[in-house]
Amino acid sequence: MPIYTCTTARDTLSGDDKATLAGEITRIHSEINHVPSTYVNVIFNELPTDAVYTDAKPSRPLLITGWVRDGHPEAETTRLATEVAAAATRVTGIPAERVLVVFESSPAHYAVEGGRVLPAPGEEAAWIAAAGH
């Protein structure tokens, strides 16, 4: 259900960094938002060094944007952002000052997976059972 996009300048992250960070994001998301880990997607968008700017200068931030369904308690989304940001620094060594985590959300019924409209938060169990997973 969720999609996390991690954007960096190329060669900022090693292959191990990516695999480990994907694992941490998946674990954190699954715990806080009560979604089986099999539904958590994490992608890395690694761009040329002349394609990433902060303060109008080439830079090496780690920008993580996540999409979640509307209806989770807002404090849990804040906790998700805080824990994902901490994991990003812990895994990659990139200082917190260069790590930005942002969540966007939209209604569950604006999304389809496995051919079916996503369940609202709190209704995952019935939805997953019906999928036969």
Q: Which parts of this chain interact with a second copy (CB under 8 A)?
A: 1, 3, 5, 7, 15, 18-19, 22-23, 26-27, 37-48, 50-56, 59, 61, 63, 65, 67, 74, 77-78, 81-82, 84-86, 89, 96-97, 99-107, 109-115, 117
For strands 3-9 and 62-69, give the pairing: antiparallel
**Shortest reach from residue 29's CB to a second copy, in Å:** 10
Which one, 40 or 92, has the nearer CB to a second copy? 40
Q: How far apart are CA 131 and CA 17, in angstroms?
A: 33
Q: How far apart are CA 121 and CA 81, in angstroms?
A: 18
For the CB of residue 91, give the shortest distance to a second copy in the complex, in Å: 12
Spatial separation of the C-alpha atoms in residues 130 and 121, rounded to whole Å: 16
Distance CA 12, CA 98 (A): 12
Q: How far is the CB of 93 from a second copy (least distance, A)?
A: 14
CB of 34 to a second copy, least distance (A): 15
Closer residue to a second copy, CB minimum distance, 26 or 92:
26
Q: How far apart are CA 52 and CA 56, in angstroms?
A: 9
CB of 32 or CB of 111, closer to a second copy: 111
- Give min distance, CB of 44 to a second copy, in A: 4
Residue with tokens 């960070």: 21
- Closer CB to a second copy, 27 or 32, in the complex: 27
- What are the backbone angles phi and psi of residue 121, rounded to the nearest 5°? -55, 135
